[in-house]
Structure 1
Amino acid sequence: MASSQLTGAGRAPRRRDILGRVSAAIVYLALATPPFLFGSREATTIAAWCAILGIGLICAPVRRLQKNHLLLLGGLFFVALCFAFVLHEQLSDRPWIAPFNPIWDKASEVLGKHLAPSVSIVRGEPFFALGLPLANVLALTLGLIVGSDTDRARRGVKVMAWAGGGYALYGIFGLLLDPSHILWREKTAYIGSLTSTFINRNTAAAYFGSCAVVWLVLLMAAVRSRLPRGKVVWKRMPHNLLVHAGGDVLIRFAMLFVCLSAMFMTNSRGGVLISLTVLIVTFLAYFGRDLPRGPGIVGVFIGCIVGGLVLMQVLGGNIGRRLDLQGFSDEGRLSVYRSTLKIIADNPWFGTGLGTFDHVFPVYRSGDISMWGVWNVAHNTHLEFASEMGIPLTIVVGLAWTAAFVVLAAAARGRRRHMAVPLSAFGVALIALLHSSIDFPLQLAGYSIVVFALLGLGLSQAALRREDRGRPALTG
């Protein structure tokens, strides 16, 4: 009898351990594989990711969650609840408070028959566009839960870094050996620019810039571990690295160089400039306490900028030429932003409906925009979100992002050996948000799922009590 009780008691931890391993494996999968199938653009691929991440969430262990994790999950639940409310109003035949879009009355008048009205300008479209936001929320939630295990969180950062290095090597060799194909498909756009497994070079630039940030954090951690304890003596840094540099430092430097090379070979102006800026911010955040104060910090900042310009000249000659010829923005993009602001002004509370931008934009398209080309996205994810979902929800999501950055920044000021995961998440999320202000990388699942999974790991590690960050992993 006692033996059977012990056996039964032992099964529960083993079962929890198996489920924990499954959920961790799915997080690693979400950090490594979304870019593979052409950036996971297809609706069926996104649906598959929702199913996989949902399984991971069902298996995810919650025993290690602390009070701060529950607060973060509560905040995420509140944002999801606000999103669900707006979605209900857009899809319902009887919305609670939202007025029907007046376009339905105009259409009924023109057609001479009554059409059932809707808050969304395209009936049912918000339901079909729900896949990507759902996948992002699932990835973020799963990352939050799995990231409560320090070992698994750190392993997840390395999985993303190595996967990015692999995609970068494929993109470089693919551009050199067979520039007319992406995997087994013929490449129809951005010929001569590296896109790796992505279709769009700007999204590829944001992804490889994000991977470069993670490799930089890993490299700085390896370098700092080789230096003597105490304040860094910068004059002795070259000597210490030459004498004490190990294989891990050399490997991480090589992979950083590979990701940077791939990023520059995309020829994306915005992606490269934003990534270089965030790389500088990440370096200053990691070594900030060791930098000289007063005029010295200005010299360090200028040195970082000069280093970035040198990299631009050596690796990004095509980008420099594009900047000389086209400036910092494509013609017509500012006009698109103004037209999108008009959409927001006419639909401020509940928007035009999730996924309806390409349907409504032709009505508001400015005459300043060339008739050539189809603008199916606003090239500013924040403005497009506001136009589709309304200003109040946009404010809620903006406050949530602000809170996330505050939590990550606070953790990045702690002990350096615990900074890798939160600082990596901070840098990658900053690239994603800044680049989404001039383009649409967060609207592509192959990039956004990676960002939100890493963000979940970073927030989870930031929420851990300081005394728990260095503890070995527990099973279950």
Structure 2
Amino acid sequence: MLKVLGWPILLLTTIALVFGGGGSRYPLANLLVQLSALALALLFIGFARGRLAAVPKGIYILVGLTLALPLLQIVPLPPAIWQQLPGRDLVQASLELLGTDGGWFPWSVDRGRTIVAFASLIPVIAALALYPWSRTDAGYRALILLVALGVGNFIFGALQLAVPGDVLNPYPVLSSGRLYGFFASHNSSGLFFVICLCASIGAFRMTKRNTLTRGFLALAGILMVVGAILTNSRSSTFLLLLPIAQMLWLGFRSRSNKLSGRAGVAVGAGVLTLIGGIGIFLAQGTRLSATWARFAELDDRRPEIWEDSLFSVERFWPFGSGMGTFRDVFPVDESLEHVLAGTPGRAHSEYIELAIETGIFGLILAAAWAVWLALRFWMGRHQVNSAAVQAAALAILCISLQGLIDYPLRNQALLCIAGLLIATMVGREPDSKGSL
């Protein structure tokens, strides 16, 4: 793994997992991840430069636009321009209370938060820069790395559950008895296990004649399923159906091929064992059965937050309030009947929050990423590393689906992992002439 991926990217992803799972409430930990990513990228810029020659042009364009958006939001604008932007009447009223007209003011209503949002992209860029784009076996090694990180998260989470008092949890937890691992949110931890399950399936498919490695990957897959359920995350537990469905489909397809009949039997037996093991745990394990009980709890604040967030979208449409500013602007539109003791720090929907902070520009950019990745997936379906492409694509799909009701990319750990998944999915064969 070290020979193919290089230790910088292994170190980067490990640091991101261990220190970057807390979200925006832990700026010092995030700063550590960002500085580490920047240092690794700068120290190995020559090493990375050779690898970047194989990067598709689409990556350069999309990454450039992604970085440009928050940078444009912090550029000072003359009063004649920024005062005409939607929602800036609130800014003007605040400045009048301070006895100043504000003079030149940026697109963002809070320059500092937008700068922090820009800095959060550094680990993603570093992961893309350090990835060995020109190597066909890089995808397989990246999947193995993700599985290893998932096993590490499971072991640490299991220790947390074994030790009373939540003393091993790196962050304050909302509910004891859940498996958090290195994350502050049980939803993020659960999604990470789903991602690692996708990786274990892809790596298992690519492993040939190595019984020990295949056994490790099979065991890791079971641990990822159990780990996701132990987080008590309903969305992550539901997302498990996607990789499990892929396993069933692979088993069915392999069974129809005489040359791979044994593989089909192995996959089918693995799926049955997996489902049976989950059933036993759900029936007898109190911690695992708690996840099933949560599906009966329909009381949720998300619809109320979404309803009020849509007013914020309308207020700042089509330019947005600035990346990272949701916490500043949402209280203005939070209705009295929905107000509780605590103010929501997130919209609990990646897409609604993106619409508030970036307006139509962020939504178009997200759509451009989705369309381009879909095209790259289609182009890579017949490559030598197609199993890695499919595994990474399925993991990215799971992140996108959880983004409907949560905020998976608002912590440095999953953001960095998303960069690794994009590189794994898009990485092409050395002889490929595609220009996308």
Contact 1:148 1:460 in 2 (8 A): yes
Closer/same/farther in 2, CA of residues 166 and 449 from structure 1, 3 Å limit: same
Measured in 2, the distance between the counterparts of 1:53 and 1:115 equals: 39
Measured in 1, the distance between the counterparts of 2:48 and 2:390 equals: 24
- Cα shift at 1:195: 0.4
Closer/same/farther in 2, CA of residues 318 and 465 from structure 1, 3 Å limit: farther
The residue number in structure 2 matching 1:283 is 247
Q: Secondary structure at the match of 1:390?
A: helix
Select the residue among 417, 420, 427 that pairs with 1:450.
417
Identity %: 20
2:37 pairs with 1:37: no
- Cα shift at 1:362: 0.6
The residue number in structure 2 matching 1:24 is 6
The residue number in structure 2 matching 1:126 is 114
Contact 1:421 1:458 in 2 (8 A): yes
Pairs within 5 Å for 1:122-271: 122-143=110-131, 146-178=132-164, 180-182=166-168, 185=170, 187-222=172-207, 225=208, 246-271=211-236
Measured in 1, the distance between the counterparts of 2:158 and 2:202 equals: 23
The residue number in structure 1 matching 2:58 is 72
Closer/same/farther in 2, CA of residues 304 and 387 from structure 1, 3 Å limit: farther
Give the structure-2-normalised TM-score: 0.81
Contact 2:52 2:133 in 1 (8 A): no
Contact 2:51 2:129 in 1 (8 A): no
Q: What's the CA shift string for 1:189-241, capped at 9, x where partnerless? A: 3211010121211111011111111112222334xx46xxxxxxxxxxxxxxx
User: What is the letter of the counterpart of residue 432 of structure 1?
Assistant: I
Which stretch of structure 1 is more off in the superposition, 396-405 or 97-106? 97-106
Q: What's the CA shift string for 1:365-408, capped at 9, x where partnerless? A: 13342513320111111211121112123212222122113312
Select the residue among 291, 297, 301 that pairs with 1:319.
291
- Cα shift at 1:161: 1.1
Q: Secondary structure at the match of 1:130?
A: helix
Closer/same/farther in 2, CA of residues 371 and 283 from structure 1, 3 Å limit: same
The residue number in structure 2 matching 1:376 is 345
Contact 1:23 1:57 in 2 (8 A): no
The residue number in structure 1 matching 2:361 is 392
Select the residue among 437, 444, 468 that pairs with 2:404.
437
Contact 1:27 1:156 in 2 (8 A): no
* Matched residues, number: 409
Root-mean-square deviation (CA, aligned residues, Å) is: 3.5
Measured in 2, the distance between the counterparts of 1:192 and 1:321 equals: 14
Give the structure-1-normalised TM-score: 0.75
Contact 2:51 2:130 in 1 (8 A): no
Measured in 1, the distance between the counterparts of 2:272 and 2:339 equals: 36
The residue number in structure 2 matching 1:474 is none
Q: What's the CA shift string for 1:266-300, capped at 9, x where partnerless? A: 111011111x132135436756754769xxxxxx9
Contact 1:54 1:138 in 2 (8 A): yes
Measured in 1, the distance between the counterparts of 2:135 and 2:242 equals: 27
Measured in 1, the distance between the counterparts of 2:172 and 2:281 equals: 27
Measured in 2, the distance between the counterparts of 1:309 and 1:402 equals: 38
Measured in 1, the distance between the counterparts of 2:365 and 2:187 equals: 27
The residue number in structure 2 matching 1:87 is 71
- Cα shift at 1:305: 11
Closer/same/farther in 2, CA of residues 270 and 186 from structure 1, 3 Å limit: closer
Closer/same/farther in 2, CA of residues 307 and 36 from structure 1, 3 Å limit: closer
2:308 pairs with 1:339: yes
User: What is the letter of the counterpart of residue 133 of structure 1?
Assistant: L
Q: Which runs of 5+ in 2 are unaligned?
A: 258-266, 283-287
Measured in 2, the distance between the counterparts of 1:451 and 1:186 equals: 22
- Cα shift at 1:40: 5.6
Contact 1:30 1:139 in 2 (8 A): yes
Contact 1:57 1:138 in 2 (8 A): no
Measured in 2, the distance between the counterparts of 1:22 and 1:93 equals: 47
Select the residue among 34, 39, 64 that pairs with 1:52.
39
Contact 1:38 1:199 in 2 (8 A): no
Q: Which has the larger radius of gyration?
A: 1
The residue number in structure 2 matching 1:296 is none
User: What is the letter of the counterpart of residue 6 of structure 2?
Assistant: A
User: What is the letter of the counterpart of residue 164 of structure 1?
Assistant: G
Measured in 2, the distance between the counterparts of 1:126 and 1:447 equals: 19
Measured in 1, the distance between the counterparts of 2:402 and 2:141 equals: 26
Contact 2:5 2:142 in 1 (8 A): no
Closer/same/farther in 2, CA of residues 152 and 23 from structure 1, 3 Å limit: closer
The residue number in structure 2 matching 1:12 is none
- Cα shift at 1:48: 1.7
The residue number in structure 2 matching 1:14 is none
The residue number in structure 1 matching 2:336 is 367
